[in-house]
Structure 1
Amino acid sequence: MNVSLHYILENPLFEHAQLLAGADGCFRTVERVSVFDSPFGMDVIEQGIIAPGDFFVTGLLQFSADSDALFEVFRVLIAGQCSGVCLIAQQPVLINDRIRALCDQNHFPIVYLSDDIAYAQIMDTINRYIAIENLNLINQLRLDKICNDQTTASERIHLLESMNRQIGSQIMAVCFLGRLQSQLAGFEWNTLWLSRAGDIYIDEHQSRIILLSADDAHALRVHLDVTRNTIAQYFEQTVLGISRSYPRHWVAKAVQEARIALDMACAEGVSEQSYDPLSITQLLFPLRNSREAQDFCAAFTHALRAGTSPEGCRELWNTLQVFVHCTGDFKKSAQMLRQHENTVRYRINRVKTLLNMEHDPIRFYEAVGAAVHLHQILRRDPEFEDLLK
């Protein structure tokens, strides 16, 4: 459960709300919302009537000015680790300096609203936030179980349908990062996904996952385009990882692919990456921190440094990157480098010699391709950084 009072207060319903005390306590988590209008004592904690995270809406109708009973109520709420109070009244006259000091000292928020807002409207709004978060936590647990290798195809379908009974026969996963344009946008975004037929949204806090579904591959691709646009409406600085489409009982594979694609997008500094089983960069990515990858980088860069000057080394490395980017096309590489084609050929042959691979073209292309792809992943690796200095 992770719905903070600060997050709730971003809702337009609280646009004109005032914090009378305890403003530093808006980080408190709201677990449930209730009402009180009469005095009570510490026994309500022992009896379990109030619990940590409780947020109360009240008009303080049963209290008189300068009442010790009201001060005692706030002591009880603070002791019970409640999340705050929302006061609905024409004037907050009952909240005297003594109560304000108590709440400020204990970071216990008192939110004040004018009395033209109904209790039910406030409680309904807060309960929607709580319901969204509870549903998200439950769906996270279901997704974790789906991704467990021990689940059967029928179990995975059952879990999917428990999250959304309108799930289609084909499924695709989108895993993404991004910053919400506003707190209100977050509430609207979550509310939107509650009503999306056939789709599932889960906020994993580190990243977000959308399971898109349809009954055929074409409809799923169209659905993906719409979802891209929807994400852009609510989020900034997004990075997306997208899986291939699968029959819905292969949902775990789709989620795994989307997560890998997101990692690849972050590593390569691009805003979107689809899972590509033939991608060499994707193949090398899990090995990026291995001893073998470190040894390869060191050996490759040492061979280039040993046979030429620092300036020549940078020149050869830049040529190699362009050459791989142009899929080994000398003419295109020369155009990008603004060099004669023969100059590019000379430099490539020079690298073959330095790597001692002039008689093994297959191995040469493998090594050069791996070096450039590893550089895309390990942009801050000191071995490669030295080549670019």
Structure 2
Amino acid sequence: MAITVIEATKLETFKNFRLISGISGLSREVEKVGILDWEFFSKSEWVFNEGEFVLTSLLFAKDNPEFILEAVKELVKDGATGLAFKNIYYNELPMEVIDYSNENSFPIFVFDNSVYFEDIITEVMDRIRFSENHELMESKIDILIKKSLNKNTVKEIALEINSSFKENFFVFYCKNKKYIHSDALISFMESLKRKKKIGLHSTALKYRNGILIIFTEDRLELKNFKNNVDYLINTLGIHVPDYYIGVSNLHSTLVELDHGIKESLFAQKTGEVSSLAFNYFNDIGIFSILMPFIDEPWMHSFYNRIIDPIKSYDEKYNTELFPTAIKYIESDGKIIETSKALFLHKNTIRYRIGKIKELLNMEACEGSFYEQLSIAVKLYKIYNL
């Protein structure tokens, strides 16, 4: 497991690092950190490994600047990730070192005396271990939601995630409406852990591009459910309108953890589809049926049967039937509201809806027509997230 150089530069000990060269190598992965001093440089065999980020004072080159290029060449040859030197003896590097670094996408940084090698090594390795743990936890969540598991296995995995879990739980999943890089999410997780904002019996995880929290207690009652959720939101310090949030139903046994996780993910995704920031699974209506089967061939077949004729007609005749269909469903099948939303005469909307019915051979199926078109439009929004 590893972090990238650019992720490392966002750590506290790297705040005074200045990149000198090798900018195209910032995506290289750091697996460990080592120190280059005179003893290592004077050995006939190097001790650095592929994926190692190297720290040095350049003491070995104090009186021989040509040694720097020789050292960098050896590091590149060995597959090292990058080099950072403390500005004790040098503030800048010879031009040939910079050129070689750029040519080989080998990042080189300079930093001052405000930070010790040991602190850099500790923070980088802590972040790597933290990242490894999150990747492991994410893989366990994937197993829970993607595999068909028996109840005993679900509970075993639940207790592998947190051996202090209680039986009563709900799952909370939130995802920022803006893209958040994974290292920012991990930093947020580290902050929660450091400030002890998540209790012993609950767990906060980075999952996909969001935060997944499994909240457990000895007792969780329906009458206090929303208070528990509000408490969690306040604890996280998140501004609800900036997120899509999904909350599962209450569950009274850990053998249902796989269902609870799926419920929170489905509720969150429904928010993305419907542009609602907050959703309880119990309130998402027909989406609670559509979401679990979204990848089934039968669902795709139904979707294509309804949507393809409409879109094909629009493409052939340069019409606007499909946008009208979407707004018609969003307006609960009300002609006047649809006409106002599209700034069109109501008779134009009636004509377009009639044309859609004709294309689908549903002229005499008013109730069934709306039902099927509504489902198809919802599927369209899900497939096009």
Taking structure 1 as the reference length, the TM-score comes to 0.72
Q: 2:74 aligns with which of 73, 76, 97?
A: 76
CA gap 1:380/1:144 in 2 versus in 1, 3 angstroms: closer
The residue aligned with 2:15 is: 15
Q: Deviations over 1:93-121 (max 9, x none)?
A: 58322322221221211211111322222
The residue aligned with 1:378 is: 380
Q: Does 2:10 match 1:5?
A: no
3-state SS in 2 of match to 1:85: strand
CA gap 1:325/1:30 in 2 versus in 1, 3 angstroms: farther
Tell me, in whole angstroms, the C-alpha distance in 2 between the residues paired with 1:236 and 1:323: 23
CA gap 1:91/1:40 in 2 versus in 1, 3 angstroms: closer
Q: CA deviation at 1:91?
A: 4.6
User: 1:203 corresponds to which letter in structure 2?
Assistant: K
Q: Would the aligned equivalents of 1:63 and 1:69 in 2 still touch at CA under 8 Å?
A: yes
User: 2:144 corresponds to which letter in structure 1?
Assistant: I
The residue aligned with 1:254 is: 260
CA gap 1:34/1:274 in 2 versus in 1, 3 angstroms: same
Gaps of 5+ in 2: 313-318, 341-345
Q: Would the aligned equivalents of 2:170 and 2:260 in 1 still touch at CA under 8 Å?
A: yes
Q: Does 2:156 match 1:158?
A: yes
The residue aligned with 1:34 is: 34
Tell me, in whole angstroms, the C-alpha distance in 2 between the residues paired with 1:184 and 1:278: 31
Q: Deviations over 1:326-363 (max 9, x none)?
A: 8xxxxxx979989xxxx99xx7xx97x988787xxxx7
CA gap 1:148/1:293 in 2 versus in 1, 3 angstroms: closer
User: 1:19 corresponds to which letter in structure 2?
Assistant: L
CA gap 1:118/1:235 in 2 versus in 1, 3 angstroms: farther
Q: Does 2:202 match 1:202?
A: no
Range with bigger deviation, 4-13 or 65-74: 65-74
The residue aligned with 2:316 is: none
Tell me, in whole angstroms, the C-alpha distance in 2 between the residues paired with 1:70 and 1:110: 11
Q: 1:324 aligns with which of 332, 344, 360?
A: 332
Tell me, in whole angstroms, the C-alpha distance in 1 between the residues paired with 2:138 and 2:326: 45
Q: Does 2:277 match 1:291?
A: no
Q: Deviations over 1:121-177 (max 9, x none)?
A: 222221222121111122123333434646443443333333323323222233443
Structure having the higher Rg: 1
CA gap 1:191/1:356 in 2 versus in 1, 3 angstroms: closer
Q: Does 2:97 match 1:99?
A: yes
The residue aligned with 1:116 is: 114
The residue aligned with 2:190 is: 191
Taking structure 2 as the reference length, the TM-score comes to 0.73
Q: Would the aligned equivalents of 1:57 and 1:85 in 2 still touch at CA under 8 Å?
A: yes
Tell me, in whole angstroms, the C-alpha distance in 2 between the residues paired with 1:41 and 1:271: 61
Range with bigger deviation, 117-126 or 149-158: 149-158
Q: 2:271 aligns with which of 261, 265, 272?
A: 265
Q: CA deviation at 1:189?
A: 0.3
CA gap 1:284/1:225 in 2 versus in 1, 3 angstroms: same
Q: Does 2:249 match 1:244?
A: yes
CA gap 1:378/1:187 in 2 versus in 1, 3 angstroms: closer
Q: Would the aligned equivalents of 1:41 and 1:73 in 2 still touch at CA under 8 Å?
A: no
User: 1:213 corresponds to which letter in structure 2?
Assistant: F
Q: CA deviation at 1:187?
A: 5.1
3-state SS in 1 of match to 2:258: helix
Identity %: 11
Tell me, in whole angstroms, the C-alpha distance in 1 between the residues paired with 2:144 and 2:279: 24
Gaps of 5+ in 1: 303-309, 327-332, 382-389
Tell me, in whole angstroms, the C-alpha distance in 2 between the residues paired with 1:52 and 1:125: 20
Q: Would the aligned equivalents of 2:303 and 2:379 in 1 still touch at CA under 8 Å?
A: no
User: 1:191 corresponds to which letter in structure 2?
Assistant: E
Q: 2:141 aligns with which of 140, 143, 150?
A: 143
Q: CA deviation at 1:89?
A: 3.0
Tell me, in whole angstroms, the C-alpha distance in 2 between the residues paired with 1:234 and 1:121: 34
Between the two proteins, the alignment pairs up a number of residues equal to 353
